[in-house]
Amino acid sequence: MADLTGKVTLVTGAAGGIGGALVRRLRAQGARVAVSDRDVAGIEAEAHLPGDLRDPAFCDGLPGAVMTALGRIDIVINNAGVITRGPVTETSDDDWNLSLGVNVEAPFRICRAAIPLMAGAGGGAIVNIASCWGLRPGPNHAVYCMTKAALASLTQCMGMDHAHQGIRINAVCPNEVNTPMLRTGFARRGFDPDTAIADLNETVPIGRIAEPEDIADVALFLASDAARYVVGACIEVNGGKPVS
């Protein structure tokens, strides 16, 4: 596994399913982790930076707050995300603003603020958690898919633009992952999450949907020197299941 000894890392969405796995795995590999989410109480980490990613000023200030708390910033993992269901005809203005705000504008603002700090220190790595559903259309989640496509494109463009500064920017694109995001979606629609996930497991060639650690390990690889020549990549992590 990647050696991340001493690497100061910001993880957004740290209280969520993939976020929790990221924080545990990063710290196990020696990273010093600053966690951000709306509520970060009870998360073991080196710095706690709670706040709402829909607040532009909070996002703009987050990389600087990591510097203040931990003295440097080597890695950023833009992991926080929200999912809204439905075709565009059922998408409210609130859903649109929430999805664009959390899934696109927040990573944009955080990257914009982090890149000069990393460049000034000789480099760094950014990993964005996008989705398979941003690489190809998925049914009944039009705005979610569009936001993840935007994040994937931003990743490819930023990867190209900032490689010369020693900053590698890549994305992980999962298919379904066993997290609160997926489970609460089933519950909201009246399905038992365990039964629904058992059914979903059958649809994946490798035999099961992803656990958060399956995604976190790929993000750690991309953040580490083992991925030193990987730039602007959007890595699908899907157990062999394409979007259909």
Burial 26-46 (b: 16+ CB within 10 A, else e): bbebebbbbbbbeebeebebe
- For 189-238, where are the alpha helices, taking DSSP H only? 193-201, 212-223
Residue of the chain from 75, 102, 145, 171 that contacts ligand NAD (CB under 6 A)? 102
From the candidates 12, 32, 73, 144, give the one annotated as an active-site residue. Answer: 144
Residue of the chain from 86, 138, 180, 193 that contacts ligand NAD (CB under 6 A)? 180
Considering the complex, state which of residue 83 and residue 158 has its C-beta at the smaller distance from ligand NAD: 83
> Are 144 and 133 in contact, with CB atoms under 8 Å apart?
yes
Considering the complex, state which of residue 9 and residue 131 has its C-beta at the smaller distance from ligand NAD: 131
> Are 11 and 219 in contact, with CB atoms under 8 Å apart?
no
CB of 178 to ligand NAD, least distance (A): 7
Active site residue 144: yes
CB of 80 to ligand NAD, least distance (A): 4
Considering the complex, state which of residue 159 and residue 239 has its C-beta at the smaller distance from ligand NAD: 239
Interface of this chain with ligand NAD, residues 185 to 244, rule: CB under 6 A:
none
The verdict on 54 binding ligand NAD (CB under 6 A) reads yes
Structure tokens at 20: 């929790």
d(CA 96, CA 92): 6
Q: Which residues contact 17 (CB under 8 A, 6 or more apart)?
A: 177, 178, 179, 180, 181, 182, 212
Amino acid found at 232: G
Residue of the chain from 18, 125, 219, 235 that contacts ligand NAD (CB under 6 A)? 18
CB of 115 to ligand NAD, least distance (A): 20
d(CA 160, CA 111): 14
Which are the catalytic amino acids? 144
Note the residues at the interface with ligand NAD (CB under 6 A): 13, 15-19, 37-38, 52-54, 79-83, 102, 129, 131, 174, 176-177, 179-182
